Structure 1
Amino acid sequence: MTSRTRTRTALAATAAAAGLALGALSGTTAAAAPALAGSTTVTPAGHAFKATLTGKATLKAGSVTVTCSVSVSTGSVPAAPGNHNAAGPVSSPVTPPTYSSCTTSIPGVSATVTTSGAWSVSMQNGSPITATMTVPTGGMVVHTSGLATCTVTAAPLAPAGAAGTWTNGAPPSLAFAGAVVPVKVVGGFGCPTSATTSTFTATYLVTDTTNPSQQINVTS
């Protein structure tokens, strides 16, 4: 593989980092609730929670991998009666997730991830329990350095929703597997400006920070 090819391949991987979004995302707009969605209740009402990455978040662009080992977001369950929806999902605001300790599978390229704006996570009871994390417009930006300097912006035109699953437990988990997010890449030589999407896989453990002896739970 030539140096030029390695540069383009490595920068394609950094485009995947914009998909974090815990990161993480499908479609160009936030996912809408199904027309015949069932009842959803998230408890305990009004409790704060913290979502912490377990293991590593793996982002893939072709055969190239970007791995991040640290990611955290916090949020809160809506107070009653907002924690119940008789015919659809329940949405909780979350802080923009932070991402750090990221590496690429190609030497010579590093990435810094910044997030901003109004993020949220919605839960829909079912089998499985589905989750959608919404990234606001331009809510994640990846700057690369090393072999080339590029800027990768996630959800560049509109909010984007990442499809995942929620599993009740002690603690419960929020998982994303191959979630897709639209991106826009700008920069000079070596930047993957033709990339329009990226994918990622990550699992977060969610703890109740209002009362650590309780668990955030999704039911009907």
Structure 2
Amino acid sequence: MEPWFAHAKPIDSLEPEIAFHLQDEFRPVSGGPAEPLALPGFPRAERLLARTSEVVGHEAELAAYYAQVVAAARRHALKPDQVRHYFWMDLRLDNDGAGVELSFPWYDTFATMDHFLAAIAGNDQGMIYDDQDQGWAIEVWARNGTLYIRQSDPEADDDPGQAVTLPRAGLQARIAPLRERTVKVVAQLAKEFGADVWTTGELPSFP
């Protein structure tokens, strides 16, 4: 057992969700004048975030939003990699009642997120996931049907991080439909948009 297991906060589960980051303006040059982007009109809990559960049935509308980004990029003769950040995604796991939120600030494609989700969904024991990048780290251990998850800042000596413990089966039951829904949403979005920018983040050319 890791020493921090003893201090992990027991919770019943976490609610995982994947979302698409939205921006209401396009800036061809950092710090330069901005051009407005019309946001999708479908209902969302957060103005600049479209959860996969909210996107279902509205993929064409979201694709139209991304088409604005491409049109603006073409007007300013920008390359696809110069507007990649307009297509970023977001993964969060939270439990509002327990005041717990786990974020993955360096994961912006479904492929990177799915490595984590697949580890939780599997049956491996011991340390099943470990990653870190610029002021952020996460490690996940599985032991006898229980998960121990800690998120911390490895660059801060005085940061104990946030550690939780929860039943693995409950989180697995929530992850399965999330992965399935995200795959379907991205596939439909790619069909409407003309390219899949969200699975791996690769966009060799504009559609």
| TM-score, length basis structure 1 | 0.27
| TM-score, length basis structure 2 | 0.28
When Rg is computed on C-alpha atoms for both structures, the one with the higher figure is 2
More helix as a share of residues: 2
